[in-house]
Amino acid sequence: MTSRTRRQLLRDASIAALGIGLAGPLAGCGDDTVSSTSTWWPTQSPGSAALDDLAKQISGGVLRPGDAGYGPTSLPANGRFRSIRPAAIARCNNAADVAAAVTWSADNGLAPTVRGGGHSYSGFSTSPDLILDVSSMNSVTVDMAAGTITTGGSALNGDILDFTTGGPVFLPGGTCRGVGVGGLALGGGIGYNAHWAGLTSDLMVASTIVTADGEVRTLSASEHDDLFWACRGGAGGNFGVNTQFTFALTDAPRDDISFYRFEWTGAERAAQVLATFDQMLVDAPAALNAVAMAEATSIDGGSPRDAISVMSRGQYIGPIEELGDLVAPLLAVDEPDSTTLKTLAFWDAQEGFASGASANHSWGDISRYAAQPIPASAVDELVDLLVECPHRSADANGSLWSLGWIGGDVIDKFDRTETAYVHRGMNTLWRPTTVWPNDANPSVGRDLNEWTAAMIGVLAPHTPPESYQNFPNRDIVDPLEEYYAENLDRLIDIKTDYDPTDLFTNPQGIPIRSG
Ligand SMILES: Cc1cc2nc3c(=O)[nH]c(=O)nc-3n(C[C@H](O)[C@H](O)[C@H](O)COP(=O)(O)OP(=O)(O)OC[C@H]3O[C@@H](n4cnc5c(N)ncnc54)[C@H](O)[C@@H]3O)c2cc1C
């Protein structure tokens, strides 16, 4: 029995057990125990002759354990999943390489897992089978006449930012320079420009994909429109390997924009700022793109309620006086310990927002969309939990973010079913997030992840059951419902049409229809 057919049986069994055909095989499974010896699918080691055959077909070659370069290339960015190492890595430089690797995987009964920027929060670009490393496919070109930007399947946010910086046009993306456009755009793509310029996936006008049958297909509104629909929110790793994307360009603001950053300390300020920010978003114009967050910091002999740092920041595509009026409610909470309100060049702001992930660390994100402000009592409860965060050192702690980029007129000009990204009509995205060093005692990660689950428990009664598919979390009980809601049925149909043997899969992958 091949690993693929056994995996399919496992999946079918769990779907049947649930009676609904919706959840992934390990929905609800905590992942701190994931290791190369307790994998969620069976591993089959390909013989070296089979790998030699694959290597001849891939222009970038194949890396196996023991080869120079295998170690760093096999590691994901999120250290939490570093124990899952592949049997081999196919270094694909183009669509022909990808097609050869996909066909070889199907023939040899190994799952092909694509790795772009490697930043999946749930380790979905790790696998004990074959990784298709597409990181060299990072080209960026702009066609000003057509008003489009075309990228390789794994240009990073940083590549796109560097290419466009200082120019007249840009593509709204995410904040982390190391995130790949494949993972980002296939699941949505939110950041400091989403509120006024849209989700990355909403700007996609075409893509090239290698599907499970090894075919290279062009997708657009007029070619394979069903699969194109699925690639605008249906998340990476489900339908094939996207080797190229084309997006509509947005004009970069010519005049200076406005920027603010305010900081406070203490649990009381945290509760007031988060609640005020929540209300502020209800009428926020598209031009305001902002976040608020509170973090549990080292107590250092003081009071746990005092050791909470609070921050709100954002950009406004407009004059500073208007931004001053919009953020006045935040200033009215209490005078910040630190206040920045200034004009600056658009590109300087983008450089300032761009960040990197902490090396040698593990993360555990989870998220919940809110359609309207949550009650002040719930905000108080969240802040009380923040005060009780089980780890509060500089590199192991928890924080709570409210990402106010995800609603508004621009994102909501699409209906919930118009693309596979369903989460329209939302006010903010609540995101409890944790970080800890890779070499910490495993109990640290477990404690912090139980803590994020408790945060979601507070949010749940006040929010629709919807989570951002690009912040996947293996502890979500009904992940596919939460990521795709009413779009899930159509996604399963499209998956079944284009990948009938479920070649592309992960612990929260979209299943095929059985029978
Ligand atoms: C530090 C950090 C900051 C982040 N900031 C943001 C943010 O500001 N905004 C935001 O929207 N998201 C953000 N994210 C989430 C990010 O969008 C997702 O984690 C995304 O899936 C990562 O893509 P990747 O290519 O880097 O990761 P990978 O782990 O390589 O891929 C993620 C998934 O997509 C699949 N995939 C990757 N490339 C392709 C491809 N070319 N074709 C088909 N499938 C593919 C993989 O198989 C995997 O299932 C952040 C994540 C981290 C870790």
Per-residue CA distances from 3 to 86, 102, 109, 406, 510 (Å): 14, 15, 6, 39, 18
Taking each continuous run of H as one helix and of E as one strand, the counts in the chain are 17, 19
Instruction: Report how far residue 406's alpha carbon sits from residue 427's, in angstroms, rounded to the nearest whole number.
Output: 7
Q: How many whole angstroms from 137 Cα to the centroid of ligand 1?
A: 15
Which of 81, 84, 120, when mutated, tests ligand 1's pocket best, judged by the most ligand atoms within 8 Å of its CB? 120
Q: Over 80: is that where the pLDDT of 1 sits? A: no
- Contact indicator for 460, 432 with CB cutoff of 8 Å: no
The C-alpha angle with vertex 19 and arms to 13 and 25, in degrees rounded to 5, equals: 40
- Domain ranges, ordered by start, for the chain: 6-135, 140-252+488-496, 257-483
Q: What confidence score (pLDDT) does residue 44 get?
A: 56
Q: Which CATH number fits domain 257-483: 3.40.50.360, 3.40.462.20, 3.50.50.60, 1.10.260.40?
A: 3.40.462.20
Per-residue CA distances from 192 to 167, 173, 174, 282, 404 (Å): 18, 8, 8, 17, 9
Which residue type sits at 502? D
Q: Over 50: is that where the pLDDT of 275 sits? A: yes
Q: How many whole angstroms from 148 Cα to the centroid of ligand 1?
A: 22
> Is residue 182 very low, low, confident or very high in pLDDT (cuts 50, 70, 90)?
very high
- Residue 200 CA, closest ligand 1 atom number: 11
First to last CA, the chain: 20
pTM above 0.85?
Answer: yes
Q: What confidence score (pLDDT) does residue 384 get?
A: 98
Q: Over 60: is that where the pLDDT of 467 sits? A: yes
Q: What confidence score (pLDDT) does residue 200 get?
A: 98
Which candidate, 213, 202, 269, places its Cα nearest to that of 241? 213
pLDDT, tens only, 217-244: 999 999 999 999 999 999 999 999 999 9
- Contact indicator for 278, 374 with CB cutoff of 8 Å: yes
> Is residue 370 very low, low, confident or very high in pLDDT (cuts 50, 70, 90)?
very high
Residues of the chain with pLDDT > 90, as a percent, come to: 89
Q: What confidence score (pLDDT) does residue 47 get?
A: 78
Mean pLDDT of 371-389: 98
Higher pLDDT, 34 or 379: 379
- Residue 363 CA, closest ligand 1 atom number: 53
Q: Over 60: is that where the pLDDT of 21 sits? A: no
Inter-axis angle of helices 376-387 and 442-459, nearest 10: 170
Q: Over 80: is that where the pLDDT of 25 sits? A: no
Per-residue CA distances from 41 to 104, 247, 369, 384 (Å): 19, 35, 31, 39
> Is residue 357 very low, low, confident or very high in pLDDT (cuts 50, 70, 90)?
confident
Q: Which of 7-21, 42-56, 245-259 has the highest mean pLDDT?
A: 245-259
pLDDT, tens only, 120-174: 999 999 999 999 999 999 999 999 999 999 999 999 999 999 999 999 999 999 9
CATH architecture of 140-252+488-496: 2-Layer Sandwich (3.30)
pLDDT, tens only, 45-95: 677 899 999 999 999 999 999 999 999 999 999 999 999 999 999 999 999
Instruction: Report how far residue 503's alpha carbon sits from residue 290's, in angstroms, rounded to the nearest whole number.
Output: 40
Q: What confidence score (pLDDT) does residue 30 get?
A: 29
Instruction: Report how far residue 113's alpha carbon sits from residue 120's, in angstroms, rounded to the nearest whole number.
Output: 12
- Residue 188 CA, closest ligand 1 atom number: 11
- Residue 156 CA, closest ligand 1 atom number: 26
Q: Over 60: is that where the pLDDT of 31 sits? A: no
Q: What confidence score (pLDDT) does residue 176 get?
A: 95
Q: What confidence score (pLDDT) does residue 45 get?
A: 65
Indicate the SS3 state at residue 188.
Answer: coil
Instruction: Report how far residue 225's alpha carbon sits from residue 245's, in angstroms, rounded to the nearest whole number.
Output: 15
Lowest mean per-residue pLDDT among 22-31, 129-138, 246-255, 261-270: 22-31
- Residue 239 CA, closest ligand 1 atom number: 43
Q: What confidence score (pLDDT) does residue 4 get?
A: 34
Q: What is the mean pLDDT of the chain?
A: 91
Indicate the SS3 state at residue 59.
Answer: coil
- Contact indicator for 474, 480 with CB cutoff of 8 Å: no
Fold of 6-135: 3.30.43
Inter-axis angle of helices 376-387 and 267-282, nearest 10: 140
Q: How many whole angstroms from 430 Cα to the centroid of ligand 1?
A: 19
Mean pLDDT of 388-406: 97
Name which residue sits closest to atom 3 of ligand 1, judged by CA: 176
Name which residue sits closest to atom 35 of ligand 1, judged by CA: 236
Q: 246 Cβ partners below 8 Å, 6+ apart?
A: 148, 149, 150, 204, 205, 206, 207
Residue that is written with structure tokens 């997030």 in the block: 433
Q: Which residues line ligand 1 (CB under 6 A)?
A: 113-121, 124-125, 134, 153-154, 174-176, 179-180, 182-184, 186-191, 236-237, 241-242, 357, 470, 506
Instruction: Report how far residue 417's alpha carbon sits from residue 485's, in angstroms, rounded to the nearest whole number.
Output: 10
pLDDT, tens only, 407-428: 999 999 999 999 999 999 999 9
